[in-house]
Amino acid sequence: MATINTSNTGNFTQTFLDSVNGTASNSSSSASSGGAGDLQNSFLKLLVAQMNNQDPLNPMDNSQVTSQLAQISTVSGITQLNTTLSSVTSQLNSTQSLQAAALVGKGVLVPGNGIGVGTQTATDGTKTTTATPFGFELPAGADKVTIEIKDSTGKVVRTVNAGALDAGVQALTWDAKDDAGATVADGKYTISVSATANGTSVNPTALSYAQVQSVVASTTGSPLLNVGTGTNVKLGDVREIL
């Protein structure tokens, strides 16, 4: 009768796990509960075959059998845990989609440095020039914050010294006037923000205004927000809802 050397049960278990590694991975990725059962059945069949063909002069003891069963139970448990986590992730994605849908039509601040300036004419002929809101986010408090607004050529048209500010999001508006008090021309402008605490930069993030047009499905599961001009942003990129 053929015999199987069982002097090293760890090698047997590792060999088995290596042989079914692909099965375990497929079970995790497909979130199939049947995969865990197939894995356990295969292990038990191999274990029974090993015991039936073991060396009678060097048989496995109870501790060896218990150790191998414990290891396969761990693998099976991990597979089932992955299935549960996959289900929870799917539910979270559905919840995020509902939250994103509530933002359609609303203005938000997202990472970016653009400002738009435009002039509207009322029925009585009065013209009003306005600029889109903007802002920035400070990861830490700063004792000096300076904002520069530049035109399309890179020329600074307005400088704002905001002084000391706490950490967090700061939403601002611009009256569309330069440092001399004159109304600027319609067009696209950009902002740059510098902030320091005790002379050290705190790396602020500039934020620009956008209006949510629709919600876009994503291959990653988390929904994207269409903010116009073919631009999509992540739901997590929204810093403030205006």
Q: Where are the domains of the chain?
A: 107-208
pLDDT at 91: 61
pLDDT at 82: 75
Task: Report the C-alpha gap between 212 and 236 in whole angstroms.
Answer: 14
Pairing state between β 142-150 and 187-197: antiparallel
Residue 106 three-state SS:
coil
pLDDT(12) > 90? no
- Is the separation of the CB atoms in 23 and 38 below 8 Å? yes
Q: Indicate the pLDDT class of residue 93, thresholds 50, 70 and 90.
A: low
Q: Which residue would you say has higher pLDDT here, 43 or 19?
A: 43
The answer to whether the predicted template modeling score (pTM) of the entire model surpasses 0.95 is: no
Q: Indicate the pLDDT class of residue 69, thresholds 50, 70 and 90.
A: low
**pLDDT (mean) for 132-155:** 96
Burial code (b: 16+ CB inside 10 Å, e: under 16) for 96-131 equals bbeebeebeeeebbbebbebebeeeeeeeeeeeeeb
Task: Report the C-alpha gap between 95 and 187 in whole angstroms.
Answer: 38
Task: State the Cα angle at 13 between 41 and 87, rounded to 5°.
Answer: 55
Residue 237 three-state SS:
helix
CATH code of 107-208, in short, is 2.60.40.4070
